[in-house]
Amino acid sequence: MDLIIKNCKLVDKLGEYNIKVEDGKITDISKNPLKGDETIDIKCNYLMPGFIDPHIHFRDPGLTQKEDFKTGSLSAANGGFTTVIDMPNTLPKTNTYKALKEKIQIAKSKSVVNFELQAGHNTLEEMKKMITLKPISFKIFMDLESDESLERIFKDLSTLKDTTEYNGLVATHCEKKAIVERETERLKQKGENEAIDYTYGRPTISEDESVKQAIELARENNLRLHICHLSSSKSLSMAKTASKSMPISWEFTPHHLLLDNTAYNVYGTFIKTNPPLRPKNESVSVEDLDETSIIGTDHAPHTLEDKTKGTWNSSPGIPNLETVVPLMLTEVNNGNIDLNIIPKIFSTNAAKVYGLENKGEIAIGKDADFTVIDLKREGKFNIDEFETKAEYSPFDGWNYTGTAVMTIVNGKVVMDKL
């Protein structure tokens, strides 16, 4: 069957358009009426290329009490996302051929949206095996590795790039292990700690030093660097400078853009995440978003029990898939973000970085992944209405203006609130 999506506003064009979809691909874009077996009238709302979240944790396998690929992908669709990229810190870690193959099968059987998987690093021989399963990139949690270990990992990835089909893209969690360990231990000596102490146990300098190191190692080993959840304004400045001489990209989370570390005094350990929220004068903000930016939610759900074990033992992570689009559209309506960059920061730029050649734009021949946006719909976040298993969010109860009202994956509607 072919599908017609009619009365579409496109952010970069005047007037209304009609889109034809056949076999999951875009086959026609026209102001003139089009004929098809099925028609969806989106009522002059904005049609955008399907949103891509390059950073999610669906906890499957091994931690499915927190989330699984079914609930996580439903959460993604509900939030307006058509493609997600899952991280490798599950149980077991996705750092062997066997574990990666198992996760692919799990995701295929459960996911209602498109997915890609990041692989964790391992021995060179094991990574060569994993490459045959086509992980989208390799992820390095630099806060868990010594300097010596990081030198070896980046060197192995360089060799992997030269000897296999590996595309040379490495995604990094940038916090300096030695600084985190030293500062955390110093703060624990106080005896009693408040939730905000966690931000000083993983201070901004730990990210800045780690970003500097990641840039140097990626450059030395001829790798493409993607910095996950960049939260420090100084790190952003370093990344921008590096971009003039090497392939580098970065992503922002909604919580780092909209909140600073004083939020710990309101939300306690529910706002705990890595890297932590920063002091306002050291943090990135909505003002840092431009047409080159990427939003990555770092959707990281936990149980309520996990989140209420005190400053140091509570699990770090915030669920964001169902809040981020309305949050950013509210910023559009408030005049803080240009509507024209929304499809870029949510889709086009991530597609380019991760080599998703058939995604990220509305054009003939591209995949029929779409996010329909009602820019004026108002509401209030209610965690009880979310698809995620997580039962907490710092944004619960916030008002918003603008939201995703339909998600179409490969030409099939998977969320409809139109």
Catalytic residue annotation: 298
The Cα–Cα gap between 242 and 250 comes to 11
Measuring CA to CA, how many Å separate 375 from each of 48, 92, 285, 334? 12, 41, 22, 12
User: Strand order of the sheet with strand 169-173?
Assistant: 51-56, 81-86, 114-120, 137-141, 169-173, 224-227, 248-250
Written as one letter, the residue type at 64 is: T
Which of helix, strand or coil describes residue 6? Answer: strand
The Cα–Cα gap between 261 and 19 comes to 45
Written as one letter, the residue type at 257 is: L
Indicate the burial class of 165 (C-beta count within 10 angstroms; 0-12, 13-18, 19 or more).
exposed
Please check whether residue 264 is in contact with residue 195, taking contact to mean a CB–CB distance below 8 angstroms.
yes
Q: Where are the alpha helices (DSSP H) in 259-403?
A: 264-267, 310-313, 324-333, 342-343, 349-353
For 259-325, strand residue ranges (E) read none
